[in-house]
Structure 1
Amino acid sequence: MEQMGLVALAMPRHTVSEVSEEMKSLIIEKNKMGLEEEPELLVKGWLLREVRGTWIKQRRYWFVLSQDSLDYYSGPEKGARRLGTLVLTNLCSVIWPDKQTYKETGFWSITVYGRKHCYRLYTKHFNEAVHWACAIQKIIDTKAPVETPTQLLIRDIEENKFNPEVVENTYQRNPILRYTQGPLYAPLLPFPYGSLEHTYHSGKGYGSVREEAVKLFNCLQQLESAREPIPIIQGVLQTCLDLRPLRDEVYCQLVKQTSYTPAPYTAAHLRYWQLLTCMSCTFLPGTTVLKYLRFHLKRIQSQSPESEMDNYASFISEALEKTKCRECVPSWEEIQMLMSRQEMLCTVHYPGPGSCQLYISSHTTANEVVRRIQEKLGLQDSKNTFALYEQNALWEQPVTGNALMADILTSFSTKESETKSQWKLCFKLYCLLDADSISVDSIEYLFLFEQCHDMVLRGQLPACEEDLQALAALRLQCIVGDFRAHAPCPSLDELFPSDMLEARVIMSLSAPQALPPCQVAAQGCPTTQRFTSGLLAGTLWSHMSTAVHKQKVEQDMRLRSRLKEESATVMGSILERWKGLTGYSRRDSMAAYLTIVRQWSGFGCTLYEVDFYISSTGSISQKLWLGVAATSVSLYRQGEAEALESYPYGQICSYGISDSNTFKITAGDRDLLFETTKLTEIMQLMNAYFSAIRHQRGKGEDADITIAESTEVGFHHLATTPTPTLLELPSHPV
């Protein structure tokens, strides 16, 4: 079996001539101290120690803390037998006393983790426990950093990277750097003993970081014989996502397993390169390990030119230049593509029935996709801006410009399993800066038409019944053409706002209904008689509950019946209007539709539901719409066309998130507070509008917005203020 602890370098200061039992851990404990006859004692006293055997017992020992170790003896007298020693290094850790243990046992406990031992110590006195914990931690903090043989060798390789003979000699004389079929006894890099960094993921069953590092090496070795490697690769990546310190460790393990492999061109060996490819597209290693990895890749390319290993090394080198830390582990599809060094196919939908497919890599951002689609559709010169949206049947949200497409697509799988609905990406207008510049024959005009129609269906266009029916008829003329008796016709839900129809029906049925006789009788009875005890009372209550349930069922049936009748009436009116549009072309229908929509003064704004609103004048309202447009921010009562208040951007001094669900805008001497769940979306959209305004002003164009000279456009505090009053989020331009 390989001597895992042997270290023999070109430089004498790193040479280790013997392999002791300690070296199996791959940890060099510098200046290892033994117990002197008269050590410098720091703390001593009686403590209970947990002893594990057939039963867990607590036994009383005399503990002595010195500068180098924590020892315990059979008693305090001179010459007492030493029963155990825990050597203290900077990798040791101490868990302080906690109330939960005291409540359960009646003792305050501290736990000391060493390389070989773990001491769980108990005392009845809190101050004594804290005193021991502080003293031990101070000793640990004074210790020099412990380095593993792998770290020393990596440093030697970096120092001699321009001397191939020395590097080759280092690899040949140190098996720890080369491929092995044997197990790993301890991590290649130093980790604290008993580290608690993993406790936030304790529900996933992780052990200590050191234990997980050894387990990961075993997983890597299983790749060679696994029939399906993707689950193992995903498991390794998930562990590295959860336990950040293990990322450098896995990189070092993979460099080891791809160095001096007995059969480098076999499919089993290439599995290591495939995992290394996935790692390079998911996480970046630390600076030291990154240099070591780059050196390893160049070395492999020079040793095996025009081979599969050369191809993987080249791909990994390019990926390391682009990789940012991922939010999700790559999906099954992405791992398959990475294993063959190919790109994924991504489908992006347009407003309406259209869509396109693009090839993306693990590093492609939403901004890049938006730019490519704009070029593909000839929209790169548009004055308006576009964005990608995550959508399902009931919900949509804009995608941040710097978000990775691979993470978004991976998150869809999780969301679909949680919401039981299909998710998709949609390319849409984001900031409508200049509607007049849109050509009637352009695809941008179609986008505007489709997005306005979506707004109508959501009930966000405050229009009268006649206008809504006219819009529905124009929609039919646009998508179906001239009226025909048996023409396929979309459902009313696709033409007319269903919420408005349902609200009207509910209002018509809201008149008080007669109560069942049992409830009327109950209301006339005294309290003592109404709730009599015994079996009879239970029978009466059951009868009342049945009557209430029956009444509710009848109300639901009445509501459905009235909805059906009202829907038929509205659909009939729409069809009559549709007949009158015979001869309208698709272009004419779209133009007429948008003409009606543009009659609303808030045309082009994005509406966000605001649950609560307060101004500095003391007025309070509920259920409002906050409209964010190209030139101003406005407030509307839901369903009303006229704005309650409107604030041009030139009057806004600052805006931002003041707490977890409150958005604040300062306009002049007024502070406006809004409670909403769309905080980040409002922030991003306002940032995007201010960024577009600044861009237009930079080009010398008229942005139709007057802004004071002292205003910092695009920043959350738009006027000079002594100190920021809001939590300022970074801008996310699209």
Structure 2
Amino acid sequence: MADDWVEKTDPRTGRIYYYNKALKQTSWHKPDASAKGAETWVEKTDKNGKRFYYNPITKVRSMVDPTGGFAVPDGRALKKSQRTSAFKGRVSRGSSFSGSFSGRARGMSTESMGSIAGGRKRQSINLHNSVIIHEAPTEDRFAKLKALANVDDSHSSIDVDAMASQLEPEEDLSQYDWENWGTQHFNLKKLKRKPVHVDELLRWTNMPIKRALQTMSHPKLDKKAQNSFKYIQMFMGEFTGPASKALPQSEAARAVLKIAIDDSPDELRDEIFCQMLKQVTNNPNPTNELKGWQLIALAVGAFPPGVFFEPFLRRYVDETRGNTRDAEVQKYAQYAKLRLDMSIQAGPRSKVPCDEEIAATLNRKAVSIPVFFVNGQEVKMQAETWTSVGDLKDAVSKLLHINDNAIFCISEVGEDMSEYALPDTERVLDVLSDWEEEYGSYKSPKDIIRNKFVFKLRLFVEIDPTDDAAVDLAYFQAVHDVTDSRYPCSETDCIRLVALQAQEMYGNFSPNGPFGDEFEQFLPGSFEASAPLKHQVMQEYESLAGMDKKTAKLEYLKYVQEWPSYGCQVFPVSPENNPEYPTDIYLAVNARGVFIIDPPTKEFLSEFKWDQIMNWGNSDETFCLVLGDYLQQAKLWFRTEQPLDIKRLVEAYGIRIKKDRT
């Protein structure tokens, strides 16, 4: 794909840009084919069922398959019916699984979400003597945006000027006058035998437009342009048609953004920006003008302009934030400038913003995102239109002082307990939009969040004992899974683990301590609180005298990590080239390697250690595991609905195992 990007020069400015004829896309920056994942195209489907292709690395979107038929399906785009069954399996310490499995299209995990779904009472997560139930500090990159939301109205012009002066110096935009753009690109042909003057097209009107402002390459684009102008007028409160056909402001905003985001070429997106600028130019109503700038700020964060129109839009925004006398318009113009900068770096959104994001943006605020932990506690984080899942994970890790966050992930957990480890490249607010599409709102009528972002362990590897926060989270997740019987254990296991948990929570054994009264709360769900069992646990607990809290946590983790199936994530697959396996099997992945499991018996049919695995790969419907050494290899092919999910997990473990060994 890198060879399809041709370097060109803007004849007016001499500025270099890149054009892809196949994709009909332009960019100031040449997509880096050497970047990891640059050739990974994801097949997606919009709300109308129309297929398109998106590269999360290069931020390029295409209506044609750039891979020639090898784009991977989007794991999050699977039908709801394919991913509603939660994993109900239980993992034994031995070589087989006990319990039952039910298919789950997003991958099945032995880890439980427990009290997020209303499980047994758990202790609070305490890190650095602070319970994590507070508002997280705003990230540095949001500081200017938050300042814009909190500017004192009585000093708004001074504050906005001060913030503007902190921006990096811009290139000279004097030649990019919007009137020049209109003269060069607007459709000035006669309309019903009447001459059309460019100044009429550049300025506000209360009438609908009968054709696009610019000369469009296709009649369908012209029709979309007329519709977008109608929705812009609705948003600004200037629609002159029947009141019954007018949309509420939020719906009108979504309608405009949908036209721009859904498979639209640069020329239509630029047309929509031109329409917005037209309606805020010489607008006689200050209230409506402010609404227009709210919409501009919303739009530039959702989709960037084309490379040719970008400097013209920048100049218009810069002049407004520097010259207007309206303090509120100044703030929205400044906000639009900041969002435009980030949008150009991040690329267009793949989803239309949800209602919550629109409401937050119209108030110049980031969206508050609750991130949960396995015990149900949460932190409040901030997300802007460009915030990726990786950004969110980094922010949570920074808040908790985690040194090694590569072993953690942000998982999407549904109300049916289906679970999906989100890729770091996914936009956080695109996930919210998906939830809104699926449920109408990602919150129930009682304001209970249906879907959740959950920060949890993804790679169940040995943790650096000096990384206190990582140890704490891994320990609490292990305790959570064991006590919820995600790992059925023997009586010996139960006695040892319950005693370690008591030592960590209460310190040295005391005959009159609180543990005796709360003993039952510590037991895995499969055990009854009998007197003989309690006596044995008390004896084991007493033998741990002198062990500090951290050592108790590390000993607990060391114990469960010896279980062969600890941390397995399981995927339903069908073998393609090995008749020895049943037709339907499970592929399980953890720190020990990759396992083949027989669903009816839960027995391990094959086990491949990491030093046996040479390589791996995937197509749109299959996953391939390459075994052997440099002299002799064997390939195992598996048909699956989740080839990319399996590949990502195997790759993450493979990279981590190699790093730990070196």
- Establish whether residue 184 from structure 1 lines up as the match of residue 225 from structure 2: no
The answer to whether the aligner puts 1:447 opposite 2:462 as a matched pair is no
Aligned partner of 2:646 among 682, 685, 690: 682
| 2:655 is the alignment partner of 1:635 | no
**Distance in 2 (alpha carbons) for counterparts of 1:156 and 1:412:** 43
SS in 1 for 2:458: strand
Task: Quote the Cα distance in structure 1 between the aligned partners of 2:234 and 2:275.
Answer: 11
- Which residue does 1:154 correspond to in 2? 181
After superposition, the Cα gap between the structure-2 partners of 1:575 and 1:587, relative to the gap in structure 1 and judged at 3 Å, is farther
Alignment-mate amino acid for residue 612 of structure 1: S
> 1:336-347 maps to which residues of 2 (within 5 A)?
336-347=359-370
Which position in structure 1 is the counterpart of 2:627? 667
Deviation at 1:629, TM superposition (A): 3.7
Cα deviation per residue 1:248-268 (whole Å; 9 max; x = unaligned)? 3221110111122234xx222
Task: Specify the alignment match of 2:133 in structure 1.
Answer: none
Q: Does 1:258 align with 2:285?
A: no
- Counterpart in 2 of 1:401? 424
Question: Aligned ranges for residues 272-351 of structure 1 at < 5 Å?
Answer: 272-304=292-324, 307-323=327-343, 324-351=347-374
CA-to-partner distance for each residue in 1:441-477, whole Å, 9 max, x for gaps? 9232222123334554786647546535765676677
Contact 1:656 1:663 survives alignment (8 Å): yes
Aligned partner (choices 216, 235, 242) of residue 231 of structure 2 = 216
What is the alpha-carbon distance in structure 1 between the residues aligned to residue 489 and residue 311 of structure 2?
64
Residue 607 of structure 1 pairs with residue 543 of structure 2: no
Residue 445 of structure 1 aligns to which amino acid in structure 2?
Answer: V
Partner of 2:456: 428
Q: Deviation of residue 642 (structure 1)?
A: 8.7
> What is the number of residues matched between the two proteins?
448
Aligned sequence identity (%):
20
1:83-232 paired onto structure 2 within 5 Å: 153-154=180-181, 156=183, 174-191=199-216, 195=220, 208-209=223-224, 212-213=227-228, 215-222=230-237, 229-232=249-252
Question: Residue 216 of structure 1 contacts residue 250 of structure 1 at CA under 8 Å; is this kept in 2?
Answer: no
Amino acid in the other structure paired with 1:257: Q
* Contact persistence 1:627–1:633 (CA under 8 A): yes
- Pick one of 362, 370, 375 that aligns with 2:393: 370
How far did 1:655 drift? 1.7
Q: C-alpha separation between the residues in 1 aligned to 2:531 and 2:644?
A: 42
Kept in 2: contact 1:178–1:257 (CA 8 A): yes
**Deviation (angstroms), 1:273:** 0.3
The residue identity in structure 1 corresponding to 2:413 is Q
Match in the other structure for 1:496 = 525
Measure the CA separation in 1 of the matches of 2:232 and 2:440.
32
Matches for 1:5-20 after TM superposition, within 5 Å: none
The structure showing larger relative contact order (alpha-carbon pairs under 8 Å, at least 6 residues apart) is: 2
Deviation at 1:314, TM superposition (A): 2.2
Q: Cα distance, 1:282 vs. partner? A: 0.8
1:671, distance to aligned residue in structure 2 (A): 1.9
Between the aligned partners of 2:216 and 2:490, the Cα distance in structure 1 is 69
Q: Secondary structure at the match of 2:644?
A: helix
Matches within 5 A, 1:404-423: 404-415=427-438, 422-423=450-451
| Deviation of 1:276 (Å) | 0.7
Cα deviation for residue 280 of structure 1 reads 0.8
Tell me, in whole angstroms, the C-alpha distance in 2 between the residues paired with 1:635 and 1:463: 22
Q: 1:428 to 1:244 in 2, by over 3 A?
A: same
Task: Tell me by how many angstroms 1:209 deviates.
Answer: 2.8
> Structure 1's 157 and 675: CA in aligned 2 closer, same or farther, altered over 3 A?
closer
- Distance verdict in 2 for CA 1:188–1:156, change over 3 Å: closer
8 Å CA contact retained: 1:477, 1:578:
no
Q: Sort the Cα spacing of 1:243 and 1:587 in 2 relative to 1 into closer, same or farther, 3 A.
A: closer
CA deviation after TM superposition for structure 1 residue 396, in Å: 1.6
DSSP-derived class of the 2:302 partner: coil
Taking structure 1 as reference, are residues 194 and 614 closer, same or farther at Cα in structure 2, changes over 3 Å only?
Answer: closer
* Counterpart Cα distance in 2 of 1:399 and 1:212: 35
State the Cα deviation string for residues 67-114 of structure 1 (Å, max 9, x = none). Answer: xxxxxxxxxxxxxxxxxxxxxxxxxxxxxxxxxxxxxxxxxxxxxxxx
Q: What displacement does 1:221 show?
A: 4.8
Distance 1:422 1:571 in 2: 38
- Give 1:624 deviation, angstroms: 4.9
Q: Which has the greater radius of gyration?
A: 1
State how far apart, in whole Å, the 2-side matches of 1:466 and 1:621 are: 35
| Inter-partner Cα distance in structure 1 for 2:575 and 2:494 | 29
RMSD: 4.2
In 1, are the aligned partners of 2:185 and 2:215 still within 8 Å (CA)? no
Contact 1:615 1:670 in 2 (8 A): no
* 8 Å contact kept, 1:474–1:578: no
Q: Which residue of 1 aligns with 2:613?
A: 652
Q: Deviations over 1:489-512 (max 9, x none)?
A: 5598xx336xxxxxxxxxxxxxxx
Q: Deviations over 1:43-88 (max 9, x none)?
A: xxxxxxxxxxxxxxxxxxxxxxxxxxxxxxxxxxxxxxxxxxxxxx
- Structure 1 window deviating more from structure 2 (632-641 vs 685-694): it is 632-641
Cα distance change on mapping 1:217 and 1:364 into 2, 3 Å = closer
Question: Could you list the runs of 5+ residues in structure 1 that have no partner in the other structure?
Answer: 1-149, 160-170, 198-206, 498-566, 697-702, 706-734
CA contact (8 A) 1:347 1:425 kept: yes
Shift of 1:193: 6.3
The equivalent residue for 1:31 is none
**CA separation of 1:575/1:474 partners in 2, compared to 1, >3 Å: closer, same or farther?**
farther
Q: Distance in 2 between matches of 1:370 and 1:690?
A: 21
SS in 2 for 1:407: helix
Which residue number corresponds to residue 9 of structure 1?
Answer: none
CA distance 1:593–1:434, shift in 2 (3 Å): closer
TM-score w.r.t. length of structure 1 = 0.52
Q: CA deviation at 1:341?
A: 1.6
Q: Counterpart amino acid of 1:449?
A: Y
Query: Residues 613 and 461 from structure 1, CA distance in 2 versus in 1: closer, same or farther, beyond 3 angstroms?
Result: farther
Counterpart-to-counterpart distance in 1, 2:503 and 2:248: 54
Q: Could you tell me how far apart the structure 2 residues matched to 1:647 and 1:411 are? A: 36
Q: Could you tell me which residue of structure 2 aligns to residue 621 of structure 1? A: 582
1:480-495 alignment runs, 5 A limit: 487=518, 490=521, 495=524
d(CA) in 1 for partners of 2:470 and 2:572?
30
Check the 8 A contact 1:610/1:624 in 2, yes or no.
yes
Partners of 1:217 and 1:418 lie apart in 2 by: 24
Equivalent of residue 241 in structure 1, options 246, 249, 261:
261
Q: Who is 2:661 aligned against? A: 704
Matches within 5 A, 1:42-53: none
